[in-house]
Amino acid sequence: MAAEKVCLIKIDGAIGPATASYISRSLDEARAQNAQCLIIQLNTPGGLLDSTQTIVQSFLGSPVPVVVYVAPTGATATSAGCFITVAASVAAMAP
């Protein structure tokens, strides 16, 4: 039996156009690799509305499930980070 693949990226900082592009490319790569999901480890104080909307739309249109994991312990997902987290297929947070 072949091992199942997941992809992981880390976002630590403000949400902007570069973040939206990075997530879009990562979703494309996860799809190309037939990954079971894309895990996004997130720690953000928030960011730009347009970039947040782009990210949320990419989640909603993705055939690859997205898991947003707010981590490490003490990390935040405020403002834009909250919208990104709740748009994911699965949301989790480190204690």
The CATH class of the 6-93 domain is alpha beta
Q: Given this model, what pLDDT does residue 3 score?
A: 76
Q: Given this model, what pLDDT does residue 2 score?
A: 66
Q: Where are the alpha helices (DSSP H) in 33-79?
A: 49-60
Q: Given this model, what pLDDT does residue 1 score?
A: 63
Phi, psi of 74 (to 5 degrees): 95, -5
Q: Given this model, what pLDDT does residue 22 score?
A: 99
Block means of pLDDT (10 residues each) for the chain, 95 residues, are 88 99 98 98 98 98 98 98 98 97
Q: How far apart are CA 65 and CA 61, in angstroms?
A: 10
55 burial (CB, 10 Å; 0-12 / 13-18 / 19+) is buried
Phi, psi of 31 (to 5 degrees): -65, -45
Q: What is the pTM (predicted TM-score) of this model?
A: 0.95
